[in-house]
A and B are shown apart, each in its own frame.
Chain A
Amino acid sequence: MIRTSIRRAVVPGIAALALALTGCGAANDDSGDNGGSTDSASAGASLSGELAGGGASSQESAQTAWRAGFQSANPDVTITYDAVGSGTGRENFISKAFSFAGSDSYLDDDEGQLSAAAERCGGEDAIEVPAYVSAIAIVFNLPGIDSLNLDAKTLAQIFDGKITTWDDPAIAALNDGVDLPGTKISPVHRSDDSGTTDNFTDYLSKAGDGAWSHDPDGVWPIKGGEAAEGTSGMVAAVKGGEGTIGYADESQAGGLGLVSVQVGKEFVAPSAEGAAKALAVSTPVEGRADVDMAMDIDRTTTESGAYPVLLASYLIACQTYDDAAEADLVKGFLSYIVSDEGQQAAAEQAGAAPLEASLAERAAGIVGAISAK
């Protein structure tokens, strides 16, 4: 058997080796141009090397666009982004496994991560810049109805199980002329720990006028009810049942009914521009360093056209790196991300909201100062 098993292994082994030797790179690697990618990046000098980052999976689509744009301009660069989740991303950044991280929530000191990040960066404050802003659409599935007007209080009561049918007076009062069916409402929440849930519950608790008694959290705080894994799972679950309502990234909400939320006196449908506007009027977190753009989103804004149900995902990096090549790569890539070009690429390919000019300018200034020690 030893002999036969060797023989058995040798044949496919040799075949695999032969294939490996002949089949080198992928067919699209040697040709620089590729459909849909931008032709030049903002980084002037051509860079080379590998850069590893990772974190929030919400950024994954946008990161794909950014990597493609940056790698096309710098063909010798390979950037990887492991969509392992914000928490693992921050961990890995602090343990130096990643050079930069994407995170749906800013660093804080509840578990010492802010100071740990500063320690990782050689005692200097870590950089945090918003890079990916996306509206969270509140989606529902009712045949024949494409949009509804709701305010945060009603939404909170719906998701809390206080309002149980679609023809409830509270809903009808906000939707004159819409023929609401008596279907049972099935609120769907994310079963995984997610930044989307965190931002959505933050909105309900801050804007819900006391109707939402739970603290904002990435884990859905109520026991029971429909739950689904991930944005794709959420969309599938809402599509799969009648009378369902859920929340998902605006770019993935195609084909479902959309809720326009009340902002001031008007009702605003989810849009990238509205989200960008709401972020621009938000207040920075107090006591942060100049390079830290952490922001508390103003969920109760009355700014016309602002859409306050949004997710702002940050990039976390250091001001200085030990290795000059690493510093150049981080600086180049992050500068590209916050540049007009990068933000446009993310808007087209991932449905993100481009940063407002003032924010983008400040972010560009911060990442432009990244240097080697």
Chain B
Amino acid sequence: MSTTTPLEPDTFAISANLAQPRLPRWAVVLVGVISLGLAGLVTLLTGWSLVGGLVLAILLMVAGLPTWSLLVEGRRAAADRFATALVWAAFAVVLVPLVWLIWMVVDHGLSAIDREFLTYDMRNVVGSGGGIYHALWGTILVTLAATVISVPIGLFTAIYLVEYGRGKRLARATTFLVDVMTGIPSIVAGLFALSLFVLIFGPAIRIGFGGAVALSLLMIPTVVRSAEEMLRLVPNDLREASYALGIPKWRTIVKVVLPTALGGIITGVVLAISRVIGETAPLLVVAGATDSVNFNLFDGRMMTLPVYIFSQYSSPGVVPVGMEGDPPGYARAWGAALVLIVIVMVLNLVARIIGTYFAPKTDRRR
């Protein structure tokens, strides 16, 4: 930044770049259209699937534009174009399974959802009909409890790692153990929670809260990891400015550091919730399964949406005699999956709104 640094020859090269020929603005569109056309032709001629054709088009685009650019604009610009094309291609390719998956869930699930589906439970329901009311509440309560357990623990751990524990052995050990924790298979978390509660309450215990404990085991690493990263990115200038004003460290963390990192932390928490809200095995083991509504986390079995989906899929019932089509359980399973995704969608949206509302104005792009 210092003005005394002598100008390097490269600087002249760049200024010379300004006069270098550039591809016209419509070059991207042109290459895109040509790629699509070529790929379409090949697809028609060889009888490939639609996805194959799209992949070919993307490959052509990624190869074609930088080549042209290399010929006209030079190596550096070509590298830039290549990177841009790759990034767009990555995005386009990821969209394929994503749209496919969501379309599949919506396609199968939407027809199952009606008023009855959302307000009925499965008590005394055989064959078709029935709903997810009990599982819906189970999922909301269990996930809420898991969040209440894991967010404070996770957030404080992250604060410890970033603000207090720098270089200390406990901090190093914790970072490492959190990584190890991410690899706990969900069913092991469930079995652990079950044996913990059996130890305390006797063998017959099956409670929703146990499921929450198992889920928080899976949630904590995600919360810690994302929060830690976000806290670490808060510029030190901010902290030092606050200390310079004589503000105690904890007030600095609460008033300066956390609000600055809030957006990222919320993303992390929502991500952690999304990660565990669809877990099946631990909930089946600890929270059990039931047909009826239960609002009490601390007493009795609780149905949750993933367990509901799994049991409807694995025991879908039978097609009534003389009828065609799939057993009635499949439609309920897809409907419940769609509802689960919608719940997370809403949650995500709410978290984002809250995040932008509380976050201080920064130069972050979003």
Contact = CB atoms under 8 A, between A and B. Distances in A.
Asked whether any CB of A lies within 8 Å of a CB of B in the complex, the reply is: yes
A330 to B, nearest CB: 14
Contact of B262 (A1, A57, A65, A97): A1
B192 interface: no
Interface size class of B (residues with CB under 8 A): 35 or more
B70 to A, nearest CB: 45
Interface string A277-300: 000000000000000000000000
A16 interface: yes
B293 A4 contact: no
Interface in B104-128: 116, 119-128
Contacts of B288: 52, 54, 80, 82
A232 B133 contact: no
Contacts of A20: 137, 295
Contacts of B228: none
A49 to B, nearest CB: 12
A352 B76 CA distance: 71
B314 interface: yes
A71 B123 contact: yes
Interface in B304-349: 311, 313-319, 321, 327
Contacts of A251: 318
Nearest to A352: B318
A128 to B, nearest CB: 21
A50 B206 CA distance: 13
B125 A83 contact: no
Contact of A16 (B140, B262, B289): B140
B316 A27 contact: no
A82 B289 CA distance: 5
Interface residues of A, number: 55
B242 interface: no
A26 interface: yes
B18 interface: no
B188 to A, nearest CB: 15
A254 B324 CA distance: 9
A55 B314 CA distance: 14
B258 to A, nearest CB: 3
B223 interface: no
Most buried by B among A4, A28, A65, A231: A28
Contacts of B255: 1
A1 B354 contact: no
Contact of A81 (B198, B289, B314, B354): B289
B358 interface: yes
Contacts of B206: 52, 82, 97
Contacts of B262: 1, 4
Interface stretch (A30-38, A163-171, A199-207): A30-38
Given A61-B318, A82-B284, A28 B125 contact: yes
Interface in A250-307: 251-252, 254
Nearest to B132: A26
Interface stretch (A108-116, A177-185, A343-351, A359-367): A343-351
A25 B126 contact: no
A97 B206 CA distance: 9
A2 interface: yes
A139 B258 CA distance: 60
Nearest to B310: A83
Contact of A83 (B126, B130, B258, B315): B315
Given A37-B126, A84-B284, A67 B318 contact: no
A46 interface: no
Interface string B159-178: 00000000000000000000
A181 B310 CA distance: 37
B134 interface: yes
A157 interface: no
Given A16-B144, A61-B315, A84-B285, A37 B204 contact: no
Contact of B203 (A37, A83, A96, A230): A96
A230 B310 CA distance: 11
Contacts, number: 151
Contacts of B315: 57, 60-61, 64, 83, 350
Contacts of A57: 314-315
A254 B319 contact: yes
A34 B258 contact: no
Interface in B250-305: 253-255, 258-259, 262, 284-285, 288-293, 295, 300-301
Contacts of B300: 50
B280 to A, nearest CB: 12
A98 B327 CA distance: 29
Interface in A93-111: 95-98
B129 interface: yes
A2 B126 contact: no
A155 interface: no
Nearest to A81: B289
Contact of B293 (A25, A36, A252, A351): A25
A9 B358 CA distance: 13
B53 interface: no
Interface in B188-215: 198, 203-206
A1 B254 contact: yes
Most buried by B among A2, A4, A72: A4
B131 interface: yes
Contact of B317 (A9, A24, A37, A349): A349
Interface string B126-153: 1111110110010010001000100000
A29 interface: yes
A67 B140 CA distance: 26
B350 interface: yes
Contacts of B316: 61, 232, 252
Interface in A132-147: none
A252 B315 CA distance: 9
Given A36-B127, A96-B203, A26 B119 contact: yes
A36 B259 CA distance: 56
Contacts of A248: none
Nearest to B250: A2
Given A1-B254, A4-B259, 18 more contacts: A20-B295, A26-B121, A27-B116, A28-B120, A28-B123, A34-B125, A60-B314, A64-B317, A67-B124, A72-B124, A78-B290, A81-B289, A84-B284, A96-B204, A97-B206, A232-B314, A350-B315, A350-B317
Instruction: Identify the 7 closest CB pairs spanning chains A and B, nearest first.
Output: A1-B258, A26-B121, A60-B315, A27-B119, A26-B133, A95-B203, A97-B203
14 contacts: A1-B262, A9-B148, A29-B293, A36-B127, A36-B128, A61-B317, A64-B126, A68-B125, A71-B124, A78-B123, A81-B289, A98-B204, A232-B316, A351-B318
